Structure 1
Amino acid sequence: MSFLTSIRASRQALRTNYAITSTFHTSAVRSLKENDRHRDDLAEHYESHKQQGLKESKEGKGKWKSELASTSEEDVKADRGDFDGENVTFDEMQKKTKTYLHKQSSGKQ
């Protein structure tokens, strides 16, 4: 029987208290946009867009501002096909992209 008591004693000695051993935790940085974490003037940036949006909504010109949305909210809006600008077809977007790239490449030369 002394063999069984030594096994029980060794098991109790091997138990660790996880609350004591894992005291250091980290959490994600809280920011509206995932890519805006390292900006110094973040509060002023958001506040200016917020005030501009409030001003536009009082004038009856209010609309959804991507500057105040998170990156995932912007992605969902794009996936749904909700665009702030004009309603453009895919072919028109291709033409605009071609002309933009042509202008950009001719300006560099």
Structure 2
Amino acid sequence: MSFLTRTLPRSLAASQRMAVQSRAFTVSSARMLKEDDRHNDDQGAANEHHKQDQLKKQKEGKGHWKPELASNSEEAIAADRNNKDESPEELQKRTQHHAAEKHK
């Protein structure tokens, strides 16, 4: 009897037994609106405040887009679509003003 005929059935049976594995514990990642909000402890309350404000304004017929409830990429896309008329110099001035106001 050859070596392969003696060892092959055992090795196949062993590999079939080891192939069945399952994961016992999984963790899903935290879901954030903005990537910057990851380290802000009270971001949930701020998001809820903006959400309630947006719902109230929508009921009054004064609803508008709120960048606070958008992700960074959604905010960038909206900025690209809405600012077609402005020159780069005007955009730079607005960015400087916004950064100065935000980081006072």
- Please give the TM-score of this superposition, normalised by the length of structure 2: 0.63
Gaps of 5+ in 2: none
| Structure 2 equivalent of residue 28 of structure 1 | 29
Runs of 4+ in 1 over 4 A off after TM superposition: none
- RMSD (CA atoms): 3.0
Letter of the 1:88 partner, please give it: E
Gaps of 5+ in 1: 105-109
* Structure 1 residues 56-109: Cα deviation after superposition (integer angstroms, max 9, x where no partner): 334433210011112232233234x225xxx53223234x26xx58xx7xxxxx
Identity of aligned residues (%): 44
Distance 1:93 1:76 in 2: 15
Alignment of structure 1 residues 1-80 onto 2, 5 Å: 1=1, 3=3, 4-15=5-16, 16-20=18-22, 22-79=23-80
How many residue pairs match? The answer is: 95
Deviation at 1:49, TM superposition (A): 0.5
Relative to structure 1, is the Cα distance of residues 2 and 24 closer, same or farther in structure 2, using a 3 angstrom cutoff?
farther
- Please give the TM-score of this superposition, normalised by the length of structure 1: 0.61
